[in-house]
């Protein structure tokens, strides 16, 4: 039997709080799970700084990837049972695509590093590029497993993740408005944060998904379940992913990494402080092995060490991050935006270097999108299939989704040290505090 079709003698199950059990049936999937690159994901939190706000959200990218695999497996099972292809090009499901779909699902996030979005911002890395690299580079265990399927198999799997794979059904399973990735993370993040907002009816959605020639559509009698999913997603973004306090910790982290990088670049980092595993990143010369050595614990270990090091700013920011001292924030808008330089100057006048102690952070540039069928990215359409097989875009038949479409904004916030809000300051900076506070009312800049 060829490797890609080799089944385990007995299905292996992994207990999971979201899907109850994750079922692994193919040798190749089990071998991928057991690679060191995949196991590394156990040491990278899924939600980064969100666990500082939602204490239960300590789950790793490992469990998420397993979940995406499981949902994809269930989609394949449904498609194979109900919509198996009969003749090539009939728009139905070709189960020969199963393995590439499962591998892409499992591996779609394997390039994530610690605190991905923040880290990438400072060090100019790109987790999607790393994902492809890990899959296609011959030096990884993952690549070695995939090549056992066939020489071009790693490229195929990478192609699914890059949306260039030829079969749109496979691509949309992993990446579209309603894909296995989003469905898993909404349910999983809702469960671990303990919010209810991310809950939707996965079973129902899986039942009404169906392949067609350009991808995946949804039976019209499942419209309400799809609507509910869109809503859940909206609420999770507003209430969890965009939470101002998590962003306040993200800002601290950004500034901390920036400070370390600046010290290194200006040769102000002494030997003692030198974080060996970060040097390739400071020098912008990162091998795949360098990249794979990082995880949350490695960064935190350097922060732990920096807490006792000479540079006052590095030390202070490390302390703030490890011991959960988020920057505070106030909302601004197009009118009050012009106040920001003045506010930054006041912060500076209170003794804080404004480069490291003020920031703007908008929820727009967070790496999440919301449902917008009219955008020019073709993947953003959710298609509902009528009884007669014709398709109709969701927002044209759902009052609720239509109401949401294009209305969503997010917020823009100015971040600063909490002490700027001390009520009765008695120190030498008290004038600065009082002036600063006169510009903030009801959590907004005025």
- How many other C-beta atoms can be found within 10 angstroms of the C-beta atom of residue 398? 20
- Number of residues near a copy of itself (by CB under 8 A): 73
Q: Does 422 bind a copy of itself (CB under 8 A)?
A: no
Helix (H, G, I), strand (E, B) or coil at 164: coil
Among 5, 7, 8, 55, binds a copy of itself (CB under 8 A): 55
- Applying CB under 8 A, the span of 160-168, 174-182, 289-297, 330-338 interacting with a copy of itself comes to 289-297
Strands (E) located in 81-220: 209-212, 215-219
Task: Name which position in 5, 7, 8, 36 contacts a copy of itself (CB under 8 A).
Answer: 36
CB of 231 to a copy of itself, least distance (A): 6
Q: Which long-range contacts (CB under 8 A, 24 or more apart) does 176-179 make?
A: 176/215, 176/216, 176/379, 177/371, 177/379, 177/380, 177/381, 177/382, 178/205, 178/209, 178/216, 178/218, 178/226, 178/229, 178/382
Nearest residue (CB) to a copy of itself, 376 versus 399: 399
Considering beta carbons, is residue 7 or 434 the nearer one to a copy of itself? 7
Q: 168 vs 417, which CB is nearer to a copy of itself?
A: 417
Residue of 300, 380, 419, 437 interacting with a copy of itself (CB under 8 A): 300
Output 207 or 354, the one with its CB closest to a copy of itself.
Answer: 207
Q: Restricting to residues 124-163, which ones interact with a copy of itself according to CB under 8 A?
A: none
Residue 44 CB, nearest distance to a copy of itself (Å)? 11
- How far, in Å, CA of 100 to CA of 158, rounded? 9
Using CB under 8 A as the binding rule, whether residue 231 contacts a copy of itself is answered as: yes
Least distance CB 333 / a copy of itself (angstroms): 14
Q: To the nearest whole angstrom, how small is the minimum distance from the Cβ of residue 313 to a copy of itself?
A: 18
Bridge partner list, 26? 7
Interaction between residue 51 and a copy of itself (CB under 8 A): yes
For a copy of itself, what does the binding mask look like between residues 269 and 288, x meaning CB under 8 A? --------x-----------
H helices present in 194-243, as ranges: 202-208, 223-236
The span from the first CA to the last CA of the chain, in angstroms, equals 70
Binding residue for a copy of itself (CB under 8 A) from 122, 199, 286, 339? 199
- In angstroms, the CA 431 to CA 427 distance is 9
* Strand order across the 359-362 sheet: 359-362, 412-416, 328-332, 444-445, 440-441
Under the criterion CB under 8 A, does residue 58 sit at the interface with a copy of itself? yes
Interacting residue with a copy of itself among 63, 118, 125, 169 (CB under 8 A): 63
Site for a copy of itself in 16-35 (CB under 8 A): 16-18, 20-21, 34-35
Nearer to a copy of itself, 41 or 173 (CB): 41
Q: Return the sign of the alpha-carbon dihedral for residues 439, 441, 445, 446.
A: negative
| Interaction between residue 79 and a copy of itself (CB under 8 A) | no
Closest distance to a copy of itself from the beta carbon of 359 (Å) = 22
Distance, in Å, from the CA atom of 405 to the CA atom of 134, rounded to the nearest integer, reads 37
203 binds a copy of itself (CB under 8 A): yes
Q: Are 385 and 220 within 8 A, CB to CB?
A: yes
How open is the CA angle 282-283-286, to the nearest 5 degrees?
95
Calculate the CA dihedral of residues 219, 224, 228, 230 and round it to 10 degrees: 50
- Tokens encoding 47: 């939600």
One of 1, 388, 426, 428 touching a copy of itself (CB under 8 A): 388
338 lies in the binding site for a copy of itself (CB under 8 A): no
Q: Which residues contact 6 (CB under 8 A, 6 or more apart)?
A: 26, 27, 28
């Amino acid at each position: 039997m060829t490797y890609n079709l080799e089944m385990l003698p007995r299905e292996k199950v992994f207990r999971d709080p979201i899907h109850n059990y994750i079922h692994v049936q193919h040798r190749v999937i089990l071998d991928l799970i057991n690679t060191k690159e995949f196991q590394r994901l156990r040491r990278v939190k899924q939600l980064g700084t969100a666990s500082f706000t939602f204490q239960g959200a300590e789950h790793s990218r490992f469990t998420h990837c397993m979940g995406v695999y499981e949902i994809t497996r269930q989609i394949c099972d449904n498609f194979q049972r109900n919509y198996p292809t009969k003749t090539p090009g009939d728009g139905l499901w070709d189960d020969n695509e199963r393995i590439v779909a499962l591998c892409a699902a499992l591996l779609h996030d394997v390039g994530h590093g610690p605190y991905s979005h923040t880290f990438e911002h400072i060090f100019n890395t790109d987790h999607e590029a790393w994902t492809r690299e890990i899959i296609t580079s011959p030096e990884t265990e993952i690549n070695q497993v995939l090549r056992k399927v066939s020489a071009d198999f790693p490229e195929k799997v990478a192609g699914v993740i890059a949306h260039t794979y030829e079969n749109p059904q496979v691509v949309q399973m992993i990446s579209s408005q309603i894909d296995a990735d989003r469905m898993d993370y909404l349910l999983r993040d809702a469960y671990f944060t303990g919010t209810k907002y991310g809950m939707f009816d996965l079973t129902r959605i899986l039942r009404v998904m169906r392949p067609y020639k350009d991808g995946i559509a949804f039976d019209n009698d499942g419209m309400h379940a799809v609507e509910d999913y869109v809503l859940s997603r909206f609420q999770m973004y507003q209430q969890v992913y965009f939470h101002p306090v998590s962003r306040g910790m993200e800002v601290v982290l950004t500034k901390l990494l920036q400070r370390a990088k600046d010290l290194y670049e200006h040769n102000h980092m002494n030997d003692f402080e030198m974080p060996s595993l970060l040097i390739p990143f400071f020098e912008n010369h990162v091998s795949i092995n360098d990249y794979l050595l990082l995880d949350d614990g490695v960064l935190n270990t350097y922060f732990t060490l920096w807490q006792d090091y000479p540079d006052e700013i590095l030390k202070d920011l490390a302390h703030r991050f490890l011991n959960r001292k988020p920057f505070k924030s106030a909302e601004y808008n197009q009118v009050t935006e012009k106040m920001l330089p003045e506010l930054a100057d006041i912060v500076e006048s209170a003794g804080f270097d404004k480069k490291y102690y003020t920031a703007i952070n908008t929820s727009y540039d967070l790496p999440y999108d919301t449902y917008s069928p009219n955008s020019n990215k073709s993947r953003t359409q959710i298609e509902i299939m009528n009884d007669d097989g014709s398709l109709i875009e969701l927002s044209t038949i759902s009052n609720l989704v239509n109401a949401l479409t294009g209305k969503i904004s997010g917020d823009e916030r100015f971040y600063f040290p909490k002490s700027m809000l001390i009520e009765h300051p008695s120190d030498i900076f008290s004038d600065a505090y009082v002036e600063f506070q006169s510009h903030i009312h009801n959590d907004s800049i005025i």
